[in-house]
Amino acid sequence: MCKKDIKTIILKGRGLVEGLVEGTALVTSQPISFYGGIDPSSGVVTERGHELEGKTVSGKILVFPYGKGSTVGSYIIYHMAKIGTAPLAIINVESEPIIVTGCVLANIPLVDKLNKNPIKTITTGDIVRVDGTTGTVFIFSKA
C-alpha cells in the first residue's frame, strides 16, 4: 500500500493518562467490564453477547464508550498490564473512574472527550497513534 492510499485523521480530546503508543484499533459501541467481561490471563472478551466476544484486547488500541461493572475492574487492568495481556491504549467517548484508575495504575495511555465520536471515526483494523499527554489521536486508515 502506498502512502497516498492512506488518509490521516487527527482528533483532539482530553489526555487522562500520559504516554505515546501506536497500534491496531479494536472498536466496539458497547461498554466493557474488565471484571467478568474479559479473561485477564488471555485478554479475550468473554462477556456473552458482547460484540467483541471471543476477540482479544491484548496489544490493541481499545476503543469503547465507557467502562461498566465493579471497581475491581481497575485492578484487573493493572494485573493485565503486569502479565502482558492489556490493551496498548484506551480511547473512550467518556471515561469513568474504573477505567481511569486502571489506566493510571497500569500506565496505559488514556484519551477521551474527543472532538469527534471515536466509535464512529475509528474502524477496527485502523492503525492508531494515541498521545495521552496531549490528548491527540492520529488515525491512519485506508483511503
pLDDT at 27 (0 to 100) = 98
- Sign of the CA dihedral running 60, 63, 66, 69: negative
Q: What is the CA radius of gyration of the chain?
A: 14
Instruction: Give every residue of the chain whose pLDDT is below 50, as ranges.
Output: 1
- pLDDT, tens only, 26-49: 999 999 999 999 999 999 999 999
Active site residues: 70
For residue 3, the model assigns a pLDDT of 58
pLDDT at 123: 96
Domains and CATH numbers, the chain: 3-142 (3.50.30.10)
pLDDT at 143: 53
- Closest to 67 (Cα-Cα) out of 85, 40, 91: 91
**pLDDT at position 7, please?**
86
